[in-house]
Amino acid sequence: MKGSLTIVGFFILGIIVSHYNLLPTSIIHADISFYALCGLMFFVGVSIGSDTSTLKNFRQLNVRFTLLPLMTILGTLAGCIVVSFFLSNRSISDCCAVGSGLGYYSLSSIIITEYRGAELGTIALLCNIMREIVALLCAPILVKYFGKLAPISVGGATTMDTTLPIITQSCGKDFVVISIFHGCLTDFSVPFLVTLFCSL
Amino acid sequence: MFIIAIILFMATGIFIGYTLRNKETGAVSHIITGFIWLLLFLLGLEVGGNEKLIKGLYTFGLEAFLLMIAGVTGSVLASWALWVYILKNNHKKEEKR
């Protein structure tokens, strides 16, 4: 929670700095964000490649539970397609691009900004931050009414880091491996899904 | 072009990460956090410099909220279906025993 607040803080700091012209405009219009994004993706890759212990744990997983990441992605996209009919100025692919951030607001908003501009990027940022907050706050209620997979599914790409503690608490220790597996797979699929829907 | 560059960077990272798998790579998560801060700051710069975006923040917030509700509802229903399916199958197994 503290980590996400810091990230939102940097976003708000950026708004304030540029709204009151505290920085020369040449910095704002330089292509720093593209190079920073390449750097980010490189280091995300390093962290995935160097983490072999998580991969070993996945072998003890019940095969049926491995369907959960797929259910999360399909469910989210189905919801976004339905809402896109009510948002007249957004296309289906716009809505799916925002939705397929799956709670990974930093990366999804950055990629969407590069492709579709800051407007949809901001929507993606807000939408996916809200998703993480809902996952953190509603996990116990979700378990009660929709079973122990629901909070993991709502957590999306955050279930291997920020929402893991609350999931462990409300679903029990047996669901830690499923949660990490789910987080790993959805985390990995976010950049691909978002770019896919942005290029449609 | 853009997507190819991104995927290439990520693939190179995965490869290098795999070769470093037995080494201490704790610094990587800090570097990632730093990059995320920088990028969100830059997104903020872009939003703050755009009058149209600032004025529309309320509308965008509402659209974001609707999309969030949609995504959450969809994934809850899908995972619920899987949960019910798994429970039913476990029951059948126990009956056979």
- Burial label for A103, CB within 10 Å (0-12, 13-18, 19+), is buried
Note whether B67 contacts A99, CB cutoff 8 Å. Answer: yes
Query: Which 7-46 residues of chain A touch chain B by CB within 8 A?
Result: 7-8, 10-19, 23, 25, 27-28, 32-34, 36-46
- In angstroms, the CA A34 to CA A36 distance is 5
Q: Report how far apart the first and last C-alpha atoms of chain B are (Å, whole number).
A: 57
What pLDDT was estimated at residue A110?
A: 87
Note whether A11 contacts B67, CB cutoff 8 Å. Answer: no
A146: CB partners within 8 A, 6+ apart: B76, B77, B79, B80, B83
- Burial label for A108, CB within 10 Å (0-12, 13-18, 19+), is buried
Note whether B70 contacts A79, CB cutoff 8 Å. Answer: yes
Of residues B90, B43, B76, B95, the one with CA closest to residue A111: B43
Binning pLDDT at 50, 70 and 90, where does residue A95 land? very high
- B16 neighbourhood in chain A, CB within 8 Å: 45-46, 49
Q: Is the minimum CB–CB distance between B13 and chain A shorter than 8 Å?
A: yes
A and B: number of Cβ contacts within 8 A: 297
DSSP assignment of B32-94, as one string? HHHHHHHHHHHHHHHHHT-HHHHHHHHHHHHHHHHHHHHHHHHHHHHHHHHHHHHHHHHHHHH
What is the tens place of the pLDDT at every residue in A52-72? 776 677 777 778 899 999 999
Number of domains in chain B: 2
Of residues A79, A102, A5, the one with CA closest to residue B66: A79
Q: Is the minimum CB–CB distance between A172 and chain B shorter than 8 Å?
A: no
Read off the pTM. Answer: 0.79
Q: Is the pLDDT of residue A30 over 80?
A: no
Note whether A38 contacts B6, CB cutoff 8 Å. Answer: yes
Listed as ranges, residues in chain B with pLDDT below 70 are 1-3, 94, 96-97
% residues pLDDT > 90 (chain A): 35
B38 shares its domain with B1: yes
What is the tens place of the pLDDT at every residue in A134-164? 888 888 899 999 999 999 999 999 898 778 8
Token look-up 């955050």 returns A158
What pLDDT was estimated at residue A75?
A: 96
Note whether A45 contacts B12, CB cutoff 8 Å. Answer: yes
Of residues A161, A163, A183, A83, the one with CA closest to residue A123: A83
For residue B92, give Cα distances in angstroms to A67, B68, B79, B88, B95.
20, 36, 20, 6, 5
Structure tokens at B73: 């509802």
Q: Is the minimum CB–CB distance between A61 and chain B shorter than 8 Å?
A: no
What pLDDT was estimated at residue A3?
A: 66
Structure tokens at A82: 């339905």
B64 shares its domain with B84: yes
- In angstroms, the CA A46 to CA B30 distance is 12
B59 shares its domain with B40: no
B56 shares its domain with B32: no
B89 shares its domain with B69: yes
Of residues A162, A164, A184, the one with CA closest to residue A175: A164
Q: Indicate the angle between helix axes A118-146 and A92-99, nearest 10 degrees.
A: 60
Note whether A147 contacts B83, CB cutoff 8 Å. Answer: yes
B40 shares its domain with B62: no
Chain A's closest residue to B80, CA to CA, is A146
B3 shares its domain with B40: yes
What pLDDT was estimated at residue B3?
A: 65
Question: With contact defined as beta carbons under 8 Å apart, do A154 and A137 qualify?
Answer: no
Domain of B55, in residue numbers = 51-97
B12 shares its domain with B36: yes
DSSP assignment of A72-107, as one string? HHHHHHHHHHHHHTT-TTS-HHHHHHHHTTTT-HHH
Instruction: Please give the mean pLDDT across all residues of chain A.
Output: 86
What letter does residue A156 receive in the DSSP assignment?
G
What pLDDT was estimated at residue A121?
A: 92
Q: Sort residue A164 into left (φ over 0), alpha (ψ -120 to 50) or beta.
A: alpha
B58 shares its domain with B18: no
Of residues A37, A182, A18, A52, the one with CA closest to residue A107: A37
Minimum distance, in Å, between the CA of residue B94 and any CA atom of chain A:
16
What pLDDT was estimated at residue A174?
A: 82
Binning pLDDT at 50, 70 and 90, where does residue A193 land? very high
- A67 neighbourhood in chain B, CB within 8 Å: 82
Partner residue opposite B48 with nearest CB, options A14, A36, A41? A14
Binning pLDDT at 50, 70 and 90, where does residue A28 land? low
B75 shares its domain with B87: yes
B61 shares its domain with B86: yes
- A18 neighbourhood in chain B, CB within 8 Å: 44-49
